[in-house]
Amino acid sequence: MRDDTLNIAIIGMGPRGLSVLERLVARLTQDQGERPVRILTVDPGEMGAGRIWRTDQSEWLLMNTAAGEVSLFSGGPDAGPWRAGAGPSLYEWLCARPGPEGESASPNGYMPRRLYGTYLRDVFAHVTANLPAGVTVVPVQARARNLHRQADGGYLLVTSDGRKVHVDKAVLTTGHSHSTAGGSDRDLLDFASRHRRTTYLRGGSAADMDLEAVEPGRPVAIIGLGLTFYDVVAELTSGRGGHYDETTDGELQYVPSGNEPQIVAGSRSGLPLLARGRNQKAGNYRYTPKFLTTEAVAQARKTALSQAGSVQLRFREHVLPLMLREVEHIYYTTHMRLRDGDKAAADFAARHLCVAGDTEATSKLLAETGLADIAPIDLENMARPFAGEYFDSTDQFHQRLVSLLSADAAQAEEGNIDGPLKAALDILRDTRGVVREAVEFSSLHPDSHRSEFLAWFNPINTMVSAGPPAVRIRQAIALIRAGILTVVGPGLTVETDEDTGHFVLESPQVADARHTATVLVDARIPRSDIRTDASPLMRQLIDDGLATTHVNINAQDGARFATGALAVTTSPYHVVDAAGRPSKGLYALGIPTEELRWFTQIGNGRPGPMVGFHNDADAIAGDMLATPRRIGATTVPHTLPTTRLTQPIEIAH
For the segment 311-363, what is each residue's pLDDT rounded down to a tens digit? 999 999 999 999 999 999 999 999 999 999 999 999 999 999 999 999 999 99
Average pLDDT over residues 577-602: 94
Bridge partners of 137?
39
CA quadruple 112, 114, 120, 123: dihedral sign: negative
Axis-axis angle for helices 227-236, 470-481 (nearest 10): 50
For residue 542, the surrounding DSSP H or E stretch is: helix 536-543
CA distance 188 to 186: 5
Chain centroid to CA 529: how far?
15
pLDDT above 90: residue 527? no
Per DSSP, 246 falls in state E
Please, what is the Cα angle at 210 between 207 and 216, to 5 degrees? 115
Asked if 214 and 188 count as a contact pair (C-beta separation under 8 A), the reply is no
Pairing of strands 6-11, 169-172: parallel
CB 289 within 8 A of CB 394: no
Which pTM value belongs to this model? 0.93
With a CB cutoff of 8 Å and minimum separation 6, the contacts of 249 are none
The contacts of residue 321 (CB under 8 Å, 6+ apart) are 357
Q: What is the pLDDT of residue 627?
A: 62
- Classified as helix, coil or strand, 44 is coil
Looking at residue 183, its pLDDT comes to 84
**Cβ-based burial of 247 (10 A; exposed 0-12, middle 13-18, buried ≥19):** exposed
- Give the per-residue pLDDT at 637: 33
Note the pLDDT tens digit of each residue in 255-277.
999 999 999 999 999 999 999 99
Averaged pLDDT, 56-78:
96
Which residue, among 46, 52, 456, has the nearest Cα to 228 in the 3D structure?
52
Mean pLDDT check: name the lowest of 172-181, 286-295, 477-486. 172-181
Please state whether 623 falls in left (phi above 0), alpha (psi between -120 and 50) or beta: alpha
Where does the pLDDT of residue 31 fall: very low under 50, low under 70, confident under 90, or very high at 90 and above?
confident
Counting other chains too, the contacts that 618-622 makes at CB distance below 8 Å and 24 or more residues apart are 618/23, 618/27, 618/74, 619/571, 619/572, 619/573, 620/20, 620/23, 620/171, 620/572, 620/573, 620/587, 620/589, 621/20, 621/23, 621/24, 621/26, 621/27, 622/23, 622/27, 622/572
What was the pLDDT predicted at 638?
Answer: 29
Please tell me the distance from the alpha carbon of residue 633 to that of residue 276, in angstroms, as a whole number: 46
Q: How many helices (H) and strands (E) does the chain have?
A: 19, 22
DSSP symbol at 240: G
Rounded to whole angstroms, how far apart are CA atoms 420 and 345? 12
- Chain region(s) in the chain for CATH 3.50.50.60: 6-178+569-635, 183-273+468-522
| DSSP per-residue string spanning 49-79 | TBTTT-TTS-TT-B-SS-GGG-BSSSS---S
pLDDT tens-digit series, residues 166-198:
999 999 999 988 888 788 889 999 999 999 999
Q: Strand pairing partners for 487?
A: 265
d(CA 26, CA 621): 9
What mean pLDDT is reported for the chain? 93
Length of the chain as a residue count: 653
User: Which residues face 254 on adjacent strands?
Assistant: 244
Question: Which of 418, 445, 324, 437 lies closest to 377, judged by CA?
Answer: 324
The pLDDT of residue 643 is 30
Which residues, in sequence order, are CB contacts of 100 under 8 Å at separation 6+?
A: none
Cα–Cα distance, 358 to 362 (Å, whole number): 6
**Is 102's pLDDT higher than 90?**
no
CATH architecture of 6-178+569-635: 3-Layer(bba) Sandwich (3.50)
Q: What is the Rg, in whole angstroms, of the alpha carbon atoms belonging to the chain?
A: 25
SS3 139: strand
pLDDT bucket at 628, cuts 50 / 70 / 90: low
Q: Does residue 220 have a pLDDT over 50?
A: yes
Give the pLDDT band of residue 103 (cuts 50, 70, 90).
confident
Percent of the chain past pLDDT 70, that is, above it, reads 96
Q: Is the peptide bond before 641 cis (omega within 30 degrees of 0)?
A: no
DSSP state for residue 569 in the 8-state scheme: -
- For residue 647, pLDDT over 60 is answered with no
Does the structure show a pLDDT above 50 at 645?
Answer: no
Q: What is the pLDDT of residues 397-419, one digit of tens each?
A: 999 999 999 999 999 999 999 99
Per-residue pLDDT reduced to its tens digit, 424-476: 999 999 999 999 999 999 999 999 999 999 999 999 999 999 999 999 999 99
d(CA 168, CA 586): 9
For the cut 90, the answer to whether the pLDDT of residue 141 exceeds it is yes
For residue 416, CA distances in Å to 295, 330, 331, 339 come to 26, 10, 11, 17
183-273+468-522: CATH, from 3.50.50.60, 3.40.50.300, 3.40.50.720, 1.10.10.10: 3.50.50.60
